[in-house]
Amino acid sequence: MAWGRFAFDSGLEYTGERTMGKETCGNVVLIGFMGSGKSSMGIRLSYRMRYVLEDTDKLIEAGAGKTISEIFAQEGEEAFRVMETELLEKLVEKRGQRIYSVGGGTPVRAVNRPLLKKLGTVVYLRTRPETVYERLRGDTTRPLLQGEDPLGKIRRLMEERESAYMETADIVLDVDEMTADQAADTIMRMAGRTGDGE
């Protein structure tokens, strides 16, 4: 697997040497803001690479027996953040080829960043605030974006989180102008995989 070289050759932003020789079997960890396409990309990559998909929001919902909105409303954001960290601690113990899609706020907690890096090659799906706003207009499943001035909230949160995303990422992919399939193709090529099930 030649993640690092591809990133240099392609002009994509490559943020470190860590990806070369990692002991993670080519695992991919998708991070990025809400609405950046992590979940849909995770499904595509999982299908095409024949890797197991671990979507942390879905795993938390299944474990808690509640939606994310219900967890935020009934237990508060901090309780959700604790659940995220506890889940990451379990996931790093798992073996096998995996795609991880994690919640938009996961890299913000400092303790989560080394866990994410340990899981695999971290790909940051970077978006502009306006893209997220357009994609999530009318969405009711993201508690942090309900209420007045969602675009302002997206801008503020994105700015606050950028350094955490950058610190965690091995590779940064600007996805505003890409469809999920194009972004998945790019990640597949970075992983040295050119077609379905190869």
Q: Which positions touch ligand S3P (CB under 6 A)? A: 34, 38-39, 57, 68, 103-105, 142-144
Cβ 14 to ligand S3P shortest distance, Å? 23
As measured in angstroms, the least distance from the Cβ of 154 to ligand S3P is 10
Which C-beta is closer to ligand S3P: that of 16 or that of 143? 143
- Residue with smaller CB distance to ligand S3P, 49 or 125: 125
Question: In whole angstroms, how close is the CB of 20 to ligand S3P at the nearest point?
Answer: 28
User: Within the chain, what is the greatest distance between any pair of CA atoms?
Assistant: 48
CB of 33 to ligand S3P, least distance (A): 7
**104 and 36 Cβ atoms separated by less than 8 Å:** yes
Q: Which is nearer to ligand S3P, 38 or 117 (CB)?
A: 38
Cα 158 to Cα 2, 16, 198: the distances in Å are 30, 22, 36
Task: Say if residue 28 is exposed, middle or buried (CB neighbours under 10 Å; 0-12, 13-18, 19+).
Answer: buried
Q: Pick between residue 105 and residue 120 the one whose CB is nearest to ligand S3P.
A: 105
3-state helix, strand, coil in the chain (%, to 5): 55, 10, 35
Closer to ligand S3P by Cβ: residue 152 or 192: 152
Question: Do the Cβ atoms of 39 and 175 come closer than 8 Å?
Answer: no
As measured in angstroms, the least distance from the Cβ of 136 to ligand S3P is 8
What HEC string does 62-121 produce?
HHHCCCHHHHHHHHCHHHHHHHHHHHHHHHCCCCCCEEEECCCCHHHCCCHHHHHHHHCE
Q: Closest distance between ligand S3P and the C-beta of residue 30, in Å?
A: 9
Instruction: Return the H-helix or E-strand segment holding 48.
Output: helix 38-49
Q: State which residue, 68 or 175, has the beta carbon closest to ligand S3P.
A: 68
